Structure 1
Amino acid sequence: MARRRLVSLEIWARHYGAPLDEREIARHYTLTSDDLEIVGRRRGDATRLGYAMLMLYMRWPGRALEAGEVPP
């Protein structure tokens, strides 16, 4: 049975596409002081970095990256 696409490719790209201007990038990928406090509680530099990245990716685009997927 054929599957229907619920969202057009254009709408999908607009929603999940990488932000292009500096203002949008800063809005999506800037940690607040509360975020930094939470990240700072983690052990090890690699763990803190990974936690911060996941926190930001869950905000936008709202999902973690797939294996082999290149970050925007």
Structure 2
Amino acid sequence: MLARRRLVSPEIWAGHYDAPLDEREIARHYTLTSDDLEFVGRRRGDATRLGFAMLLLTMRWPGRALEAGE
């Protein structure tokens, strides 16, 4: 079995996932561009478009899909 070691400390890791509180950062991370809107608009059904848009935005920040309850 391969040895495992931490590359990043828990403190740094936790800071990476802290939600942006600044209004500019929120807008930067969670605003869809016109290209994004066109891409999302190609999906069928309102629920599918909403889910796809949410997935697209969470891939930008925090860079992963959210867990249930997050």
- Once residues 13 and 20 of structure 1 are traced to their aligned partners in structure 2, the CA distance between those partners, rounded to angstroms, is 15
1:4 CA displacement: 4.2
- Aligned CA-pair RMSD: 1.6
- Once residues 15 and 25 of structure 1 are traced to their aligned partners in structure 2, the CA distance between those partners, rounded to angstroms, is 15
| TM-score after normalising by structure 2 | 0.84
For structure 2, list consecutive stretches of 5 or more residues without a partner in the other structure. Answer: none
Q: Give % identity.
A: 85
- Once residues 48 and 66 of structure 2 are traced to their aligned partners in structure 1, the CA distance between those partners, rounded to angstroms, is 17
- Once residues 20 and 27 of structure 1 are traced to their aligned partners in structure 2, the CA distance between those partners, rounded to angstroms, is 11
Matched length: 68
* Match of residue 40 from structure 1: 41
CA deviations 1:21-69 (Å, max 9, x no partner) are 1111110000000000010111111000000000011111111012x23
| TM-score after normalising by structure 1 | 0.82
Aligned-partner residue type, residue 17 of structure 1 = D
